[in-house]
Amino acid sequence: MTIAALRDRVSDWLLGLRGQPEVRVRDWVRVGPGQPTRVLGFDQALLWVVLGLLALSVVMVYSASVALPDNPKFARYASTHFLSRHIFAIAIGALVAFLAAQIPIATWEKLAPWLFALALALLLVVLVVGKGVNGARRWIPIGPLQFQPSEFAKLAIAMYAANYMVRKMDVKEDFFHAVTPMAVALGIVGVLLLAEPDMGAFLVIAAIAMGILFLGGVNGRMFFLISAVLIASFVLMIVLSDWRRERIFAYLDPWNERFAQGKAYQLTHSLIAFGRGEIFGQGVGASVEKLHYLPEAHTDFLLAVIGEELGFVGVFAVIAAFFWLARRIFSIGRQAIALDRVFAGLMAQGIGIWIGWQAFINMGVNLGVLPTKGLTLPLMSYGGSAILMNLIALAIVLRVDIENRQLMRGGRA
């Protein structure tokens, strides 16, 4: 099987689509003589899944954080502190997402290089004026709020890589012309992120860029060569870093006395939480592990609290929702490419990789399938920057879908 055939097979499996794109949800499009196309419909199923995840996140973030004020570190906070900030982040994110959905994809395409440059600038700024937390400098203080540039960089790289592939489509078989500039850009982002350090964000950003290159049709041998170089780089970073190497050993043997109260502390308590949840869970609010046993229960390890309180059923529902969401985003991207809207399609698929891959890593870490990494669960974990950028990205995907429907009904995107 050739690389091109493999790429098509993977794409078809992810999407479940063959031939011409189909409209999965009813469209309403009115085109009057001399009037612009007006769209009254959109992918309602995608919106409802996102709203469902956000609603569940409100309940679980409150449940996971309600006892934090009992800890001296959070003694000055009210029991609803994290809940109110989470709801505020969702409200702001929804408003900005609504505005983002009004911007044509053609405008986003023009802005893509500038947004990527802005992301690089912010990643530099955070190293100078950023706020340090637990040894990492990842947040820029903005009054009472904090902004995490790495979250913005994920959306920026999805747009930039899609725009890059459109510009390099004629030379995508030439390694130096098609791949080298993108590799340099990714290398710069990697250096800035590892300086924070934020290896988890770099893993996601590298996956977005490499996924778009692959789906954009870059020569298969070149793609696998770059992948091998990236993997070797990650392995080298682990080998040369004592604390990263300790994390790997702790992941491989979390119950060892040497690690259980140290590097594997979060993992062991996360596994205990899942074990207590069994099939149907202990009930909402009944988690014991969130009572100062499991660190970061409302952020990186929110899924463990879901597992303890809602059991296997709750965890399976969350996994199924993210699988469906990533698959549907890929479907919208495939429709756009079939309509000869390459930038829109690759960008949407890049966002699908972002949401799906980051959710996979977070779930894998919580379940002990992957080494501990500081990545939140998209749309659900507490964190204003992540919620904001997730909602903006999904609003842009909905915009891609709306323009697809306009074109398929004879209108103009």
What is the rounded distance in angstroms from the CA atom of residue 332 to the CA atom of residue 351? 11
pLDDT at residue number 36: 41
Q: For helices 342-366 and 265-277, what crossing angle results, to 10°? A: 90
What's the chain look like in SS3? Answer: CCHHHHHHHHHHHHHCCCCCCCCCCCCCEECCCCCCCEECCCCHHHHHHHHHHHHHHHHHHHHHHCCHHHCHHHCCCCCCHHHHHHHHHHHHHHHHHHHHCCCCHHHHHHHHHHHHHHHHHHHHHHHHHCEEECCEEEEEEECCEEECHHHHHHHHHHHHHHHHHHHCHHHCCCHHHHCHHHHHHHHHHHHHHHCCCCHHHHHHHHHHHHHHHHHCCCCHHHHHHHHHHHHHHHHHHHHHCHHHHHHHHHHHCCCCHHHHCCCCHHHHHHHHHHHHHCCCCCCCCCCCCCCCCCCCCCCCCHHHHHHHHHHHHHHHHHHHHHHHHHHHHHHHHHHHHHCCCHHHHHHHHHHHHHHHHHHHHHHHHHCCCCCCCCCCCCCCCCCHHHHHHHHHHHHHHHHHHHHHHHHHCCCCC
Q: Which residues of the chain have pLDDT under 50?
A: 15-40
Distances (CA, A) of 38 to 105, 108, 280, 345, 374: 16, 20, 46, 22, 43
What distance in Å separates the CA atoms of residue 332 and residue 147, rounded to the nearest whole number? 29
Q: What pLDDT does 142 receive?
A: 82
- Looking up tokens 């190497």 gives 245
What is the b/e burial string over 151-176, where b = at least 16 CB atoms within 10 angstroms of the residue's CB?
A: bbbbbbbbbbbbbbbbebeeebeebe
Handedness of CA 261, 266, 268, 273 (dihedral sign): positive
C-alpha of 18 from chain center: 27
Query: For position 21, what pLDDT does the model report?
Result: 40
CA geometry: angle 301, 303, 309, nearest 5 deg: 115
Residue 250 has a pLDDT of 80
Count the residues in the chain.
413
Prediction pTM value: 0.86
State the angle between helix axes of 265-277 and 302-338 in degrees (0 to 180), rounded to the nearest 10.
90
Sign of the torsion angle spanned by Cα atoms 178, 184, 185, 189: positive
* CB of 97 closer than 8 Å to CB of 392: yes
pLDDT given at position 171: 63
Q: How confident is the model at residue 1, as a pLDDT? A: 55
SS3 annotation, 43-67: CHHHHHHHHHHHHHHHHHHHHHHCC
- By the 8 A CB rule, do 289 and 297 touch? yes
